[in-house]
Amino acid sequence: MFRLLLLLTVVTLAAGARLQLRPTPRLDGKIVGGKPVKIEEYPYQVSLQRYGSHVCGGSILGPNKILTAAHCISSSSASSLSIRHSSTYRGSEGVVIKVSSIAKHPDYDPFTTSHDVSVLTLSEPIKDSDIGKPITLVEAYATEGDREAVCTGWGTLSSGGSSPLQLQAVDVKEVDREECNRSYNGRITDTMICFASPGKDSCQGDSGGPLVVGDKQVGIVSWGRGCARPDYPGVYAHVAPLRTFIDKNL
């Protein structure tokens, strides 16, 4: 999906050993084991674009509000960003609207990827006549455990492969918090939840996109080690404890 800048590529290669020791935000990859779908099935999904190119996913929270991951916008100005909504395809159709301001969680930590959430304000509202519709957020008091979810995005379909034009969806199941924490050597914080299924996962290019249980968003694609690796579940920003920040910026 998003092609990393040459500078970031060089830094990543130079820091290869360190990347094994800390979370790796999912900025350039795939949905693994998913299927092509239409935006009418997931009307809350948007493509977050930087200078017109897809970089991350996001979800519609209101007429002019978008939810995404903090790491997706950590090095971007609002003037460089826009969203494409109401489109099955990441680079065409639908409607493009510029971003006017960014609210990034003040406790976001790029080294641990804790509090990985941002709320974007658009320069104009999404019209009621458009396909794009808001997603309902999970309640702050929601109970964890044994949930089944769907994640959507436009990431590449295989490691090093090309990005699909059409939106993809994948079904995943919640992983016990303690089990996930053991997999990641204690790096799972209260603002993270884990989901996985054999051969299925979100991955780098799906960053910022929604993880939805039923009709409510419970997570935001955040980070993980590899993609669909049996011992390393996908890690998502945990919407429930982040509701205070999100609600404040709606």
Which one-letter amino acid corresponds to residue 80?
Answer: S
What's the DSSP call for residue 76? -
Q: Are 84 and 47 in contact (CB under 8 A)?
A: yes
Residue 26 has pLDDT above 60, yes or no: no
Structure tokens at 43: 């009307």
Q: Which residue has the higher pLDDT, 26 or 63?
A: 63
Residue 195 has φ and ψ, to the nearest 5°, of -140, 145
Please give the torsion angle defined by the CA atoms of residues 178, 180, 186 and 191, in that order, rounded to the nearest 10 degrees. Answer: -90
Q: What CATH class is the domain 43-133?
A: mainly beta
Q: What does the alpha-carbon distance between residue 105 and residue 114 come to, in Å, rounded to a whole number?
A: 10
- For the chain, how far is it from start to end, CA to CA, in angstroms? 28
Task: Write down the pLDDT at residue 63.
Answer: 96
> Strand 216-223 vs strand 136-137: parallel, antiparallel, or unpaired?
parallel
Average pLDDT over residues 65-91: 95
**What is the arithmetic mean of pLDDT over 215-219?**
97
Sign for the CA dihedral angle at 105, 179, 184, 56 comes to: negative
Q: In the block, which residue shows the tokens 């960003």? A: 81
Tens of pLDDT, residues 107-142: 999 999 999 999 999 999 999 889 999 999 999 999
Is pLDDT of 175 > 70? Answer: yes
Instruction: Look at residue 16 in the predicted model and tell me its pLDDT.
Output: 26
Average pLDDT, the chain: 85
Q: What is the CATH number assigned to the segment(s) 135-240?
A: 2.40.10.10
Q: Is 212 helix (H, G, I), strand (E, B) or coil?
A: strand
Q: 60 - beta bridge partners? A: 66
H or E element at residue 213? strand 210-213
* Catalytic residue ranges: 71, 116, 207
Domains 43-133 and 135-240 share a fold: yes
Which positions ≥6 away from 167 have C-beta within 8 Å?
Answer: 36, 37, 38, 39, 42, 45, 88, 89, 90, 152, 153, 154
- Would you kindly state where each structural domain of the chain is located, as residue ranges? 43-133, 135-240
